[in-house]
């Protein structure tokens, strides 16, 4: 229901923003800001995965969720641009809003258990207890070890279009690699990653995704500065990024377990930690570029993913062995 309500709000905000574009920059800015604020509520809808889905299917669910986020964003933006050349502005506004709202109607097909209604104060007390359980849990600390690491942060995706000239790639090649091709391959990687996460330890999947990213960024660091190196390296990197995103979500769902009152809140709080590595690795990659150009940028990213990936892989093996030896099992 949260997903449906948020999508409905975004439908009208997107439509109004496009319609306002020709009238007032201030109105457009405020509407776009409101749209981004509402979009932040979407992560809480992932709490439904914690409360309704069989844990054995969480990997696939994570993959499809991330594929929709990455691929859907790229395809939706492309569709809106294509429509913009063919219809008047008011029709474009309705069409763009519908691209957001209509797919969300699928949420009506989700079967959820009836929730016992509670008063406002008891509800917030229960939510607070649930959040506190998450904060002090050992599993949360272990999850943060993965989520705050540089592994799978895919920071190169934020910089890939700017280094195209370093590889003598044309504007068309840069647009294709960093745009449609990158989006589709990232989405494909998400689906593949979800499949892997349902068949392999999710900590191990997370670490391996980082090592795969390290291989392709090393390709771009060590290869000759040609369009082939640029395109081939980033195609592989985008695929690895998709696998990493799926592994991130699957591992987060494992860490949180089944929540009664704070599923959406807990998911949003823990998921937000994944933004920090993206920020600091983008900065570190930029430092690498400052001193050694594109090769330095890719080398920094590769080393961070490789070293972090090996350490997390060792931890995953240790944790799995400890878990098997636990008397509770």
* pLDDT one digit per residue (tens) for the chain, 329 residues: 444 444 444 444 444 444 444 556 676 677 667 766 666 666 666 766 777 777 788 888 888 888 887 776 666 666 666 776 777 767 777 777 777 777 777 777 777 667 677 777 887 887 788 888 888 888 889 999 999 999 999 999 989 989 999 999 988 888 888 877 888 889 999 999 999 999 988 999 999 999 999 999 999 999 999 999 999 999 999 999 999 999 999 999 888 877 666 777 788 888 888 889 999 999 999 999 999 999 999 999 999 999 999 999 999 999 888 776 555 44
Give the start-to-end residue ranges of the domains of the chain. 2-109, 120-325
In the CATH scheme, what is the code of domain 120-325?
Answer: 1.20.1250.20
For 109, residues 6+ apart whose C-beta sits below 8 A from its C-beta are none
Q: At what angle do helices 58-84 and 182-197 cross, to 10 degrees?
A: 170
CB 209 within 8 A of CB 262: no
> What's 23's DSSP letter?
T
Q: What is the dihedral of CA 66, 70, 73, 78, to 10 degrees?
A: -140
pTM score of the predicted model: 0.81
Cα angle 281, 283, 289; round to 5: 100
Please tell me the total number of residues recorded for the chain in this structure: 329
* Burial 264-285, CB ≥16 within 10 A → b, else e: bbbbbbbbebbeebbeebbebb
Nearest to 206 by CA among 150, 157, 134: 150
Dig out the tokens for 141 from the structure.
């600390």
């Amino acid at each position: 229901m949260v997903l449906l309500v948020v999508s409905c709000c975004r439908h009208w905000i997107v439509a109004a923003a496009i319609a306002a574009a020709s009238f007032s920059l201030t109105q457009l800015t405020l509407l776009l800001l409101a749209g981004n604020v509402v979009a932040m509520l979407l992560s809480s809808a992932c709490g439904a995965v914690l409360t309704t889905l069989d844990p054995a299917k969480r990997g696939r669910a994570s993959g499809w969720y991330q594929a929709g986020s990455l691929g859907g964003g790229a395809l939706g933006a492309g569709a809106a641009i294509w429509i913009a050349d063919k219809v008047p502005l008011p029709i474009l506004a309705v069409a763009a809003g519908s691209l957001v709202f209509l797919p969300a109607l699928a949420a009506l097909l989700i079967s959820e258990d009836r929730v016992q209604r509670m008063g406002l104060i008891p509800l917030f007390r229960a939510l607070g207890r649930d959040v506190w359980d998450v904060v002090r849990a050992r599993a949360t600390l272990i999850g943060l070890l993965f989520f705050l690491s540089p592994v799978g942060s895919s920071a190169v995706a934020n910089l890939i279009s700017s280094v195209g000239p370093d590889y003598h790639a044309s504007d068309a090649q840069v647009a294709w690699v960093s745009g449609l091709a990158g989006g589709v391959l990232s989405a494909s990687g998400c689906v593949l990653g979800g499949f892997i996460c349902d068949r392999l330890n999710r900590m191990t999947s997370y670490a391996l995704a980082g090592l795969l990213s390290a291989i392709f960024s090393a390709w771009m660091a060590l290869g000759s500065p040609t369009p082939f190196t640029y395109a081939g390296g980033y195609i592989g990197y985008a695929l690895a990024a998709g696998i990493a995103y799926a592994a991130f979500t699957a591992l987060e769902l494992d860490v949180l377990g089944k929540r009664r009152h704070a599923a959406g809140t807990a998911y949003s709080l823990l998921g937000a930690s994944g933004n920090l590595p993206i920020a600091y690795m983008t900065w570190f990659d930029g430092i690498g570029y400052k001193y050694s150009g594109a090769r330095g940028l890719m080398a920094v990213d590769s080393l961070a993913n490789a070293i972090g990936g090996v350490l997390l892989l060792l931890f995953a093996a240790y944790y799995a062995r400890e878990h098997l030896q636990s008397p509770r099992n």
